């Protein structure tokens, strides 16, 4: 029987990891997607969409589908499923590791204001600017809904739902974004403050450079921690090495 690896996905890194696993002899990969994006780019291998029903539901799924290892390659801010995965994997004694792209690091000239939540970001905004480029995704917009004196440009893959700020223009787009396009967007919309989550990666990092060049402040929401005791890889390649060390996959020299 091939070794069954469940990848909790939805990120570019998860897709790359699934591609490598799918091409490995003796391995069967299933990618689990939350289903929040209308038209996701699907990885190779098996696909499941939707929630598990909490940690207990995930543990049951791992048992029924004879999963040999779990890789949590979800978005750095998908905190709930990460802790559910840790509980589920422990309950059924299945190895678990996390794949997290490294976070962003401020460069000389950056005017970063770091906070631990969207609510904290909303509290900072009135003192920083009046025309906000909001790049935190369509979830959690309620945190900014009361800021009636501010204007927002909100960018996300799918259209947002209420509640959200009353004075808001929506830009539907998917990265990667070029530095030139980010510069033009800031100029065209007269943006004077940027709000982002520390999702890391290169696909959306040019906005930080554009903000630095424009001299505007950036409110950065810090990412939540990985559950205690879970090994963390920074790249799909590192994840494969960890996976080989943690499971019977160490016998598969092609990894």
Residues 83 and 28 occupy one common structural domain: yes
CA pair distance 82, 102, nearest whole angstrom: 17
Is the confidence at residue 254, as pLDDT, over 50?
Answer: no
Please check whether residue 158 lies inside any domain of the structure: yes
Is the confidence at residue 216, as pLDDT, over 50?
Answer: yes
Please check whether residue 107 lies inside any domain of the structure: no
Residues 158 and 188 occupy one common structural domain: yes
Residues 130 and 194 occupy one common structural domain: yes
Q: What is the pLDDT of residue 247?
A: 66
Backbone angles phi, psi at 114, to 5 degrees: -95, 135
Residue 67's CATH number:
3.40.50.720
Residues 45 and 7 occupy one common structural domain: yes
CA pair distance 231, 222, nearest whole angstrom: 20
pTM assigned to the model: 0.82
Among 106-110, 172-176, 178-182, the minimum mean pLDDT is found in: 172-176
- Residues with Cβ within 8 Å of 225's Cβ and at least 6 positions away in sequence, in order, are none
Residues 91 and 159 occupy one common structural domain: no
Give mean pLDDT, residues 143-170.
Answer: 94
Residues 164 and 189 occupy one common structural domain: yes
**Segments forming the whole domain that contains residue 44:** 3-102+224-251
Number of domains in the chain: 2
Residues 150 and 193 occupy one common structural domain: yes
Residues 176 and 97 occupy one common structural domain: no
Q: Give the model's confidence band at 252: pLDDT under 50 very low, under 70 low, under 90 confident, else very high.
A: very low
* Nearest C-alpha neighbor of 29 from the set 61, 55, 68, 81: 68
Is the confidence at residue 251, as pLDDT, over 80?
Answer: no
Residue 178: is it exposed, middle or buried by C-beta count within 10 angstroms (0-12/13-18/19+)?
exposed
Is the confidence at residue 42, as pLDDT, over 90?
Answer: no
Give mean pLDDT, residues 100-128.
Answer: 96
Q: What percent of the chain has pLDDT over 70?
A: 95
Residues 19 and 116 occupy one common structural domain: no
Three-state secondary-structure class, residue 249: helix
As a whole number of Å, the CA-based R_g of the chain is 20
- Residues with Cβ within 8 Å of 14's Cβ and at least 6 positions away in sequence, in order, are 7, 8, 31, 43, 71, 73, 74, 99
Residues 231 and 173 occupy one common structural domain: no
Q: What is the pLDDT of residue 138?
A: 87
């Amino acid at each position: 029987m091939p070794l069954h690896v469940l990848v909790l996905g939805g990120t570019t890194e998860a897709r790359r990891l699934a591609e490598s696993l799918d091409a490995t002899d003796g391995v069967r990969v299933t990618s689990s997607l939350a289903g929040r994006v209308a038209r996701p780019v699907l990885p190779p291998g098996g696909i499941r969409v939707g929630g598990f029903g909490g940690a207990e539901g995930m543990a049951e799924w791992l048992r029924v589908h004879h999963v040999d290892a779990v890789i949590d390659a979800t978005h750095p801010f998908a905190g709930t499923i990460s802790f559910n995965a840790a509980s589920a994997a422990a309950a059924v004694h299945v190895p678990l590791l996390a794949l997290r792209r490294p976070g962003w690091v401020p460069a000389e000239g950056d005017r970063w204001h770091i906070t631990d939540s969207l609510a904290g970001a909303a509290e900072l905004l009135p003192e920083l600017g009046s025309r906000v480029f909001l790049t935190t995704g369509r979830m959690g917009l309620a945190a900014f809904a009361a800021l009636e004196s501010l204007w927002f440009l909100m960018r996300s893959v799918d259209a947002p739902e209420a509640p959200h700020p009353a004075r808001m223009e929506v830009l539907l787009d998917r990265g990667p974004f070029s530095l030139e396009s980010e510069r033009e967007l800031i100029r065209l919309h007269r943006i004077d403050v940027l709000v982002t989550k520390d999702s890391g990666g290169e696909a959306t990092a040019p906005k930080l450079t554009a903000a630095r060049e424009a001299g505007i402040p950036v409110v950065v929401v810090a990412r939540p921690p990985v559950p205690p005791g879970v090994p963390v890889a920074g790249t799909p390649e590192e994840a494969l090495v960890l996976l080989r060390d943690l499971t019977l996959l160490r016998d598969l020299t092609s990894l």
